[in-house]
Structure 1
Amino acid sequence: MTTPQSGPATAPTQSGTAGPAGPTPRPAGQLAEHEAADRVLTAALRWIEAHVEWFAPERWEQHLPRRPFRPGPLLELLGLIRILDREGILSETAPLRSKALDLAERAVSEESFEAGLRAGDDFFPYHLNLIALLERLGRPCRSLRTVCQALLTADAGSLARPYKPVLNRLELRYFADRGAFTAPAHLPEARALHRESIAALAPDALQLTESETYALTHVVFYATDFGRNPMEFGSDGATAQLSETTRVLLGVSLARRNLDLLAELLLCESALATGPRTTPMTTVGWSTLAGSIRPDGALPSPVHRPDVLAGLTGDKAAAYLFGTCYHTTTVAALAATVRRKHPRAPAPVPIPAWPHADPAHLRTWSHKVTTTAASAPAPLRSAWADQLDPLLAIAAQTRDANLLKDLLHAAAALDRTALPVPRRAAELHTAWTS
């Protein structure tokens, strides 16, 4: 969410793509969105509180590799607690709140933390953010705050310079503004940085990489302060296009069973919503998260492998479970908290199963749509139309020209070839095969 992605000891990075072996959610029944989100939030907070000790850097490092920014998971936990606190979900005396703040105070009191802070390197924004969150939650560290402001004023690491990536500068600006620091004079205001970001520049959903998708979600997080403020790009068209891109990417994460990106995109969808509404895709998204909750309350990341966990015992098993579940569980709790601000009507009809990203499955889906769309009932055609754009994106992102051709036949059967995503997909297919 707000720290560099880093995965568990026995798996690739936290943002690794889930393939055909990704988690298959258990049926969650025909839950309304708010019911599924509440179930996710309750389970996630139960698991986080039961495993709060593992957010401490020294506990993590007993069995998992040291992270470049040691208190990274702890920083994410404090970010969640801020939103829970803001929405009145967590009281000032709640055990989770006090335990997390105790761990954070201990982490920033270590000599290694101050040494890392004073280095003024690429991890400086995360040091600053942790100090700011502690202060916001009632545990100020005044001496370290003074150090933060001095480094920020000096533009340590040249992090505010125009040649630095816009997401990095936006992140620094967001942390500085939220922490009431004075930013360097040459660091643009947040709104100007939003307009330079990937989220405002008409990203091509058909060809976005996973890392670019994470960049997009984080821009939305910062630009809206996790759903508190409206998205403002200075153009209604840019905001509408971002909402449409989010819709397509949400469907992609559903098809890939990537619960981590699914939770981040559901958060974005809530943050971008302008009023009460429900869609089949968000209903399926929340039902998928609710149906994927482990018995202990955790939500597994794309790198979690039950067969690996089954071969471990004791602390090693606990470490693997935490390392492969904490991020997805934390961001799901964030998304569910933000979702509570936007009550929506229950889904009026049962929602069909979402297709899997496996190419064979998608070819079967395409053949069924192509051969039966003309006689299919309107609700089913509408459901297929909702699914089409994300499936086209999967074919484009995997450079599978044959699959893309099949899906374009389905688009024709659904009378959607003139719409932006199918039209763009057809252009790519022609370029690949001509």
Structure 2
Amino acid sequence: MDKQFHELLQGCLNLGWGERVDRPLFRSLEIRWASGVLNGCRPDADDLIAMAPACTLPSLVARREDAYALTHTLFYATDFGAYPLPDCVSTQRVTASLDALLAWQLWEDDLDLVGELLAAAYACALPSRYSDMALTAVWSELNRPVVRGPFAAHIRHRMNSIYDVEVFGSCYHTTLVAGILCATYLAAPPVNSPQNQTPGPDRALVTEEALESLRLVNQPERLSASWVTGIDGVLEPTQTVIACVLDGALASAYRADDLRTVAVLHQRLKRYGVTTATSLAAAVALDFRTRHG
């Protein structure tokens, strides 16, 4: 590490600039991690991660900021996979939350968050239901010298004079995330999953369900999303792929306050015999809204 930068960062930590009372927990984890790296020791995160709400938040009310809080919590609590998750963390609960957010962000075609969620899944060796299929679906986009950032499409309509600077600002982080994802994926131990021994998907049925979900949510622009074009190459079972598609569509419909579509998509998930964190949250939300208007 650059000596001058090391001294500057250490000085900031010594002055207490990382200990503000209004700092979110995952930012406090980041400070602990940076301090541990500087001092050559493992970050002490157990007491902080035990209080972190990111791993228990119902998937349907989570924001993008909550998804980033989850990934950063997992990164800094494990030193990017160098150490196991603390005992106070429920792997099952974290995995369910991560899969719910991954399906939603895959639907939203946000490569930045999809990349972070995948990197967190592989770094922590989580038994994710959706990570392998999501990685396959977006690999052609991630495997580029510069990866499309979440706001790149919006920036294209701006003035040409600021185009290059803003594209760099939008794409830099996503390209960095793609690099972290590659590193964590290559270093990740294999996760034993029974679905790895099952036949691949019924591609015609998967495509039909994806198109029907797009129609129900009334988002034809999603037809050009990277996961729609990449889904043909996935090897996971039909039930898994369709569950991911429906989870993403359901999350999008709920955030648009389209409860009729939420109910339809929820029934479609039940038809396939799939229970997910998103479907459970949808059932609670539908019951609450039915009783209370």
Identify whether the pair has TM-score above 0.5, normalized to the shorter chain. Answer: yes
1:137-216 correspondence runs (5 A): 139-141=2-4, 145=7, 148-149=9-10, 151-156=12-17, 159-160=18-19, 164-180=23-39, 189-200=44-55, 202-216=56-70
Structure 1 residue runs without a partner (length 5+) = 1-134, 183-187, 365-378
Q: Does 1:263 align with 2:120?
A: no
Q: Is the 8 A contact 2:239 2:274 kept in 1?
A: no
Give 1:239 shift: 2.0
Structure-1 residue corresponding to 2:140: 291
1:129-140 correspondence runs (5 A): 135=1, 139-140=2-3
Give 1:160 shift: 2.2
1:112-123 correspondence runs (5 A): none
1:62-141 correspondence runs (5 A): 135=1, 139-141=2-4
AA partner of residue 284 (structure 2) = E
Give 1:309 shift: 7.0
User: For the structure 1 residues 317 and 393, does the alpha-carbon distance in structure 2 shift closer, same or farther, using more than 3 Å as the test?
Assistant: closer
1:183-332 correspondence runs (5 A): 189-200=44-55, 202-235=56-89, 238-273=90-125, 281-292=130-141, 297-305=145-153, 308=156, 312=160, 316-332=162-178
| Partner deviation per Cα, 1:225-260 (whole Å, 9 max, x = no partner) | 11222111425xx22100111111111111111111
CA-atom RMSD in angstroms? 3.6
The percent of aligned pairs where both chains have the same amino acid is 24
2: CA distance, partners of 1:253 / 1:163:
28
1: CA distance, partners of 2:15 / 2:40:
13
In the alignment of these two chains, the number of paired residues is 265
Among candidates 415, 424, 433, match of residue 281 of structure 2: 424
1: CA distance, partners of 2:59 / 2:239:
22
Q: Is the 8 A contact 1:221 1:227 kept in 2?
A: yes
SS in 2 for 1:297: coil
1: CA distance, partners of 2:212 / 2:174:
20
Moved more, 167-176 or 336-345: 336-345
Higher relative contact order at CA 8 Å, sep ≥6: structure 1 or structure 2?
1
Structure 2 residue runs without a partner (length 5+) = 191-195, 220-236
Structure-2 residue corresponding to 1:433: 290
User: For the structure 1 residues 325 and 163, does the alpha-carbon distance in structure 2 shift closer, same or farther, using more than 3 Å as the test?
Assistant: closer
Structure-1 residue corresponding to 2:265: 407
Structure-2 residue corresponding to 1:389: 247
2: CA distance, partners of 1:173 / 1:251:
30
2: CA distance, partners of 1:356 / 1:191:
44
Q: Is the 8 A contact 2:216 2:261 kept in 1?
A: no
Give 1:342 shift: 2.3
Among candidates 190, 193, 200, match of residue 349 of structure 1: 200
> Which one has a larger percent helix, Structure 1 or Structure 2?
2
Structure-2 residue corresponding to 1:57: none
1: CA distance, partners of 2:124 / 2:105:
18
1: CA distance, partners of 2:156 / 2:187:
38
User: For the structure 1 residues 414 and 217, does the alpha-carbon distance in structure 2 shift closer, same or farther, using more than 3 Å as the test?
Assistant: same
| Partner deviation per Cα, 1:146-200 (whole Å, 9 max, x = no partner) | x6545534424xx425564322322211111111189xxxxx9421111111334
Q: Does 1:337 align with 2:183?
A: yes
Q: TM-score, normalised by structure 1?
A: 0.53
Q: Is the 8 A contact 1:356 1:362 kept in 2?
A: no
1: CA distance, partners of 2:22 / 2:128:
41
